[in-house]
């Protein structure tokens, strides 16, 4: 697995959502991309999401993360999901 650098995540935040991400919902504590995060023991699928959310889900179980992002789209300022090589298209996400 290739880690997404904090510099890239920060650049995405500045370019597309007007600031840094506030919450990383699927991460380990050692590579969190936001000041607030949910690691595997906290289970980001069942915790509240709000603000500017970074999501780089586990690729082997991406569907529940995409479903959650869709259901949270109005509660968050922005949700940016990075899913390289995952079997999903950008057209799957409603506005």
Burial 55-72 (b: 16+ CB within 10 A, else e): bbbeeeebeebbebbeeb
Please tell me the predicted confidence (pLDDT) of residue 68.
92
Average pLDDT rounded to a whole number, residues 45-69 = 89
pTM exceeds 0.85:
no
Please tell me the predicted confidence (pLDDT) of residue 90.
45
Q: Under a CB-based contact definition with an 8 Å cutoff, are residues 80 and 16 in contact? A: yes
What confidence tier does 82 reach under pLDDT thresholds 50, 70, 90? low
């Amino acid at each position: 697995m290739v880690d997404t650098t904090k510099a890239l995540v920060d650049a995405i935040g500045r370019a597309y959502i007007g600031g840094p991400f506030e919450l990383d919902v699927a991460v380990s504590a050692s590579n969190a991309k936001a000041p607030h995060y949910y690691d595997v023991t906290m289970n980001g699928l069942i915790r509240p999401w709000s603000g500017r959310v970074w999501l780089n889900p586990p690729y082997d179980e991406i569907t529940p993360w995409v479903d959650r992002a869709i259901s949270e789209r109005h509660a968050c300022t922005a949700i940016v999901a990075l899913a390289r090589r995952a079997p999903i298209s950008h057209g799957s996400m409603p506005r």
